[in-house]
Chain A
């Protein structure tokens, strides 16, 4: 039996070694292929980057030499396009890139979408969105009917949010897949204001993650039109909605009346009090000081710290804090005020 085991183990080792040897050969060949690919890509970049620049920015003539022949040249064009799209906002350039991609790159990504490999399909979906290849939209909808992963579906949603926003809203309504807040934000940011407002109006019908992402997106869009809606959210029971709405209002930075915020100075939740201390940055100190003084003596360290910072940022803030230090009996509040004063004076 042992003899059998030795021979068995030897066979296993030999088989494994042979497999590893073949794998090594494959890797070395693959390596050669990759070097050739990189060389073709780099040659294209070297030869045609200037042509591309002239065509995109200087209204130079389009030449057929720019049309890619093979994958390596497509990769080179992707590098050129992506560097312009990421670093420059220019509608004319974006339009030319879109036109070219729809005309000459479409067939490559169409083929990639049918690939067995998940990563290739994902890359194709990335490019369709980045290069705005709207002619592949029907293919994408067909692709959606096949068995796809959650990541692929997310990319499809992103494509819809760029090209067909109505369809996008319908899709997230019917979708059973739940994405993270950060992912929803990535989708909502791309929406036109008119579509986003409708999504926001429908607030109560969305899941938590979509609600949170919608509030945060409204904050980042910084439109005055969202202020009223965010104020309405302050009446919600859910603390997280309240805190985020306050954060959104702080980000937008326009506080037209102080009254809706005053009751929150005495909120049970320190996060809410912290946000109020922040919001008062956008209110003249003469109206907010009484509340900020109260927050300076708060039990919570973060609230005290923020209240001191908010006061200090005002022109008369340092004097107010010094006055406070002399009159207050709250040692923690005094220390916080002192640290803020010293820091502020240090900055000056």
Chain B
């Protein structure tokens, strides 16, 4: 029996340690790539590009899609933030996805919406559209009232109604910086359409001061749970998106703020309505299409453009969110499992997908295993202490050091939270991450995996939660 336990402990200890080292090395590599990329731009005056491209002559028109399900509180501010955007040619399409609250009335009254007869081209099949309205105040503002069909269906309706060659999806309670659209479109414009989708950087708005759809000041909130999420967002951004984007390996661009070429999105079938992570699904489908058509197209993550969103403030809401994200991630990866290690998909099949499987998807199991191992090792006695200590130290590098490095690097290059006190508070809190926040999120993500396994057979009948619950992936 003892031999068996010994064998198991060495075996699992070895796997967990190997995994941790692998992740640390990958994160280091991605961090260095991100650092070089951002550092190059440090102190570059961005207004030069903004001013040059504010003219419609240099840009391309964009349809802004705002799916709203029970967003009576946030939707007006979101639309104002879109009206405030510095961009030469846009149309705003608010899609009321059969809300049960007063979203429809709020938008109709606030923007003086009048019903209009309009023929819709059905590029993508959707649930029925009840009525289209146009604002009497803002000529480029349209409201579509439709039957409830979930966020993906609402976005598909938006794509059908839109008249411009690019569309940008924005969550019904997110706020965009005024120059964010101009900058997220930059790679698309400068590449002459070689870039067919681009995602922006998402930031947490809790604690920020807002006025009529604009973030006027950023403060670090008092809620520790929210601060931890801020740190987590910074880390995900520095140790993932930027590096993956450099090699056209981005699999997730957040649904809260992303631009797509309409032509490619329609060809890829639009947003999938039978899947949780519809944003990831669309990106993967477009990647597939690019490879199938053998075209030289790219999907990019743009570090600068900022979309502000509200983060969960309680453990319960955060748990739901994380569980759902992870379930969605697993579902998408499972659906496209044949792409993994498939030579047809090049680096996407050999680097991006294995990375997502190993680090993002199955990582929580191994990491949680690491935590359990440490606890068990201390009960089993002296001989495992050392392995446990090594694991703990690896957790420190993985959790604490990377988090602090991300905070400092962000402060160096972007300086979103410029006050000294706030910077120090974030650093101090990062030291506590591995003791409470990390294990909790791991547990919730594992829960997401279990839920995926259990509900696999009856997935098609899954009850929709609606779009009020955020679909952002960190």
Which of A's residues lie within 8 Å of B, judged by CB?
A: 2-3, 5-6, 9-10, 12-13, 16-17, 20, 23-24, 27-28, 30-31, 82, 86, 117-120, 122-123, 126, 130, 180-183, 185-186, 189, 209, 216, 220, 301, 335-336, 338-339, 342-343, 346
Interface of B is mostly: helix
Judge whether B53 is part of the interface by a CB distance below 8 angstroms.
yes
Check if B45 sits within 8 Å of A6, measured CB to CB. Answer: no
Interface 1/0s, chain B 389-402, versus A by CB < 8 A?
11001101100010
Interface of A is mostly: helix
- The complex places the Cα of A3 from the Cα of B385 at a distance, in Å, of 11
- The complex places the Cα of A5 from the Cα of B389 at a distance, in Å, of 10
Check if B119 sits within 8 Å of A336, measured CB to CB. Answer: yes
Which of B's residues lie within 8 Å of A, judged by CB?
A: 40-45, 47-48, 51-53, 57-59, 114, 116-119, 121, 189-192, 386-387, 389-390, 393-394, 396-397, 401, 404-405, 408, 411-412, 418, 420, 423, 427
Check if A122 sits within 8 Å of B420, measured CB to CB. Answer: no
Check if B401 sits within 8 Å of A13, measured CB to CB. Answer: yes
- The complex places the Cα of A30 from the Cα of B412 at a distance, in Å, of 9
Check if A9 sits within 8 Å of B394, measured CB to CB. Answer: yes
Q: Which of B44, B53, B190 contacts A123 (CB 8 A)?
A: B44
Q: Which of A17, A180, A181, A338 contacts B401 (CB 8 A)?
A: A17
Given contacts A23-B408, A118-B40, 13 further A-B contacts (CB under 8 A): A3-B386, A5-B390, A6-B390, A9-B393, A27-B408, A31-B418, A123-B44, A123-B45, A182-B58, A182-B192, A220-B57, A343-B117, A346-B114
| Given A6-B386, A183-B190, A301-B121: A126 touches B408 (CB 8 Å cut-off) | no
- The complex places the Cα of A118 from the Cα of B420 at a distance, in Å, of 28
Nearest-neighbour CB distance to chain A for B418, whole angstroms, equals 7
Check if A27 sits within 8 Å of B411, measured CB to CB. Answer: yes
- The complex places the Cα of A119 from the Cα of B58 at a distance, in Å, of 23
| Given A117-B43, A183-B190: A16 touches B393 (CB 8 Å cut-off) | no
Contacts of A343 in B (CB 8 A): 116-118
Check if B390 sits within 8 Å of A335, measured CB to CB. Answer: no
| Given A336-B119, A339-B118: A119 touches B42 (CB 8 Å cut-off) | yes
- The complex places the Cα of A23 from the Cα of B404 at a distance, in Å, of 11
Contacts of B121 in A (CB 8 A): 301
| Given A27-B423, A180-B192: A13 touches B412 (CB 8 Å cut-off) | no
- The complex places the Cα of A183 from the Cα of B58 at a distance, in Å, of 8
Nearest-neighbour CB distance to chain B for A148, whole angstroms, equals 14
Contacts of A16 in B (CB 8 A): 397, 401
- The complex places the Cα of A180 from the Cα of B192 at a distance, in Å, of 6
Complex: chain B residue closest to A82, CB-CB? B47
- The complex places the Cα of A334 from the Cα of B116 at a distance, in Å, of 17
